[in-house]
Amino acid sequence: MSIKAGKHLQAIRHPADLKEVAESDLHLVCQDLRQYIVDTVSVYGGHFGASLGVVELTVALHYVLDTPNDQLVWDVGHQAYGHKILTGRRDRFHTNRYYGGISGFPKRKESEYDAFGVGHSSTSISAALGMAVAAELNGEKDRQVVAVIGDGAMTGGMAFEAMNHAGDAAANMIIVLNDNCMSIDPNVGALKDYLTDITTSHTYNKVKDEVWNVLGKLSRFGVNAQEIASKIEGGLKSSLLKHSNLFESLKIRYFGPVDGHDVHHLVKVLNDLKQIPGPKILHCITTKGKGFALAEKDQTLWHAPGKFDKITGEIQKKKYDKPQPPKYQDVFGHTLVELAGMNPDIVGVTPAMPSGCSMNIMMKAMPERAFDVGIAEQHAVTFSAGMATQGKMVFCNIYSTFMQRAYDQVIHDVCLQNLPVVFCLDRAGFAGADGPTHHGAYDIAYMRCIPNMVVAAPMNEQELRNMMFTAQLNKSGAFTIRYPRGEGVMPEWKTPFEAIQVGKGRRLRKGSDLAIIGIGHIGNLGLAAAEALEKEGISAAFYDARFAKPLDAEMLKEVFATFDKIITLEDGCLMGGFGSAVLEFAADHGLNAHVKRLGIPDAVIEHGEQLELYAECGFDKAGIVRAAMELMEMVRL
């Protein structure tokens, strides 16, 4: 279905076309751009509210800046749909996030307008500062560098590290703070209150307007006038405000707050800021979901609602005639509350993903025992470690991909001290439409090499529950449980708890020709493939390893003693992953077999449905069957 652009957007294929539009007509372009995003996302899905909230900012930035020469860095990038549409990708926008289509995030190889590849939060100021400093070193005095960062992303440590550096480096850059008071869930922390205080303080805003006027008048007279303006502004601020501004105290000049939906004012302000040297921050107040009433009202739901009816607002849900298995994240959420009811030491920690990982269930049931710490994975891990020293049993839930941020904290603050923290890694394996920035490809490899760490992966809901039950009984060392995005396989999932022996796998199918050893949910495809192989005349056994560390030595010895053909199966990276662990075990114990490892190769796997990506990497059901047949053939030859 082709989406038709409104007449003011139709002529705009690139920012150069936008510059042909009269400034007084820019709001019309905004209207069409917003409508185009609504029309497309309602039909094809994707992130929604964030892009609607920055329509005016996007238009103003591309109107004022000389992109792609000027560098525009979007933080996270889930809000950059307008940017994509204005920078040569309108015709392909309906392929957004689909296999083979454009990416849901800015990506350097996709467009010269995507100055920096993003997906993980809070990187924009660092990247922009790097660009600004390099531009200075290269003598490119006129190049503008702009980072657009949300108030949620601003809670991330990297943003503070970068501002600390930026104020001192004094490089020429603009930070646009897109403040909508929301992360995916309502934003948290003291900074949020601080930003609200600045926004709502009448005294501050009155003084700010006066400063702005003085500055505006002087800015026409060049750099010297800027210096004078700066002194006046500083004087006004310090004498009248009596307290200094957080950003100003980091030597980043603060402007705002401004209405981020007034495109005409934004153009004027950005033009002014371009003239002012050094690091500056423009505080814009916006509404997430702006222009689509339901999205303004329930901003968390409309962060990424999937497909919906743009007239009624009804979000499309697949309809089934029989009960479906739950999402793993919900099994986690409900099970945690159950366990916390039994064990008073249990607490929950999430870095900004309460609805994403279903920690919101515990936050609702036991608000004093569940913590959203902001987009701060490193802090989440060390905060959990601190609580563990005091006898708390922390379930710290972090998406596998975001845990990459907190690797040193896992090693230094948890494992070296042998603290019992449970890490639940959601979205392990392929994240799907979010693509490579979000795939949880590396966790088995990066966790299993750390001492004092158990690495487990459930094949179904019951296993997840039992692993969580087991983990909270375990008082020595860290315990990782990784599970994928989406549904499990058991509609009747609320089974009684049973402890699992740590490091114990299980055989689920007997066979005589070859053995498949899977780890985690992907094992269901392995088991299905083993059954399908029967029709091909191949008798395949299936083992569920459950643990990548410690490995089940007894089980592996049995497998190597019984079979000379073995397939290992994981939805994680092959290098250093579960299959590697099996081969290490075999080498260390002098065991021999033809081993074929299936998993994610040493390559960037793009976005698409999980099943499409399994197929691409050769470990969907058909791929596993093929691999088994090839192994049989190869060994016969």
Ligand X SMILES: Cc1ncc(C[n+]2csc(CCOP(=O)(O)OP(=O)(O)O)c2C)c(N)n1
Six-digit token string for 206: 């009155």
Residue 376 CB, nearest approach to ligand X (Å): 8
Contact 5, 59 (CB under 8 A): no
Nearer to ligand X among residue 395 and residue 542 (C-beta): 395
Contact 441, 403 (CB under 8 A): no
One-letter amino acid of 446? Y
Six-digit token string for 413: 């603050």
Nearer to ligand X among residue 84 and residue 405 (C-beta): 405
> Could you please report the per-residue DSSP string of 245-272?
-HHHHTT-EEEEEEETT-HHHHHHHHHH
Nearer to ligand X among residue 158 and residue 250 (C-beta): 158
Residue 56 CB, nearest approach to ligand X (Å): 13
Nearer to ligand X among residue 184 and residue 393 (C-beta): 184
Q: Residue 435's closest CA among 461, 408, 401, 468?
A: 401
Residue 76 CB, nearest approach to ligand X (Å): 5
Nearer to ligand X among residue 284 and residue 455 (C-beta): 284
Residues 6+ apart with CB under 8 A from 11: 17, 20
Residues in contact with ligand X by CB under 6 A are: 50, 53, 76, 78-79, 120-121, 150-153, 178, 180, 182-184, 288, 352, 375, 377, 402, 405
Torsion angles phi and psi, residue 303, rounded to 5: -60, -50
DSSP 294: H
- Catalytic entry in 107, 405, 465, 596: 405
Residue 154 CB, nearest approach to ligand X (Å): 7
Residue 378 CB, nearest approach to ligand X (Å): 10
Nearer to ligand X among residue 35 and residue 401 (C-beta): 401
One-letter amino acid of 178? N
Torsion angles phi and psi, residue 193, rounded to 5: -65, -40
> Environment class of residue 324 by beta-carbon count within 10 Å: exposed (0-12), middle (13-18) or buried (19+)?
exposed
- Catalytic entry in 288, 327, 465, 485: 288
Residue 79 CB, nearest approach to ligand X (Å): 5
- Catalytic entry in 56, 233, 377, 570: 377
Distance from CA of residue 420 to its chain's centroid?
26
Q: Residue 441's closest CA among 547, 569, 572, 568?
A: 572
Residue 351 CB, nearest approach to ligand X (Å): 6
Nearer to ligand X among residue 120 and residue 253 (C-beta): 120
* H or E segment and range at residue 132: helix 124-137
Q: Residue 580's closest CA among 466, 455, 488, 484?
A: 455
> Is 377 an active-site residue?
yes
- Measure the CA–CA gap between 463 and 151, rounded to whole angstroms: 38
- Cα R_g (the chain), whole angstroms: 27
- Active-site residue numbers? 288, 377, 405
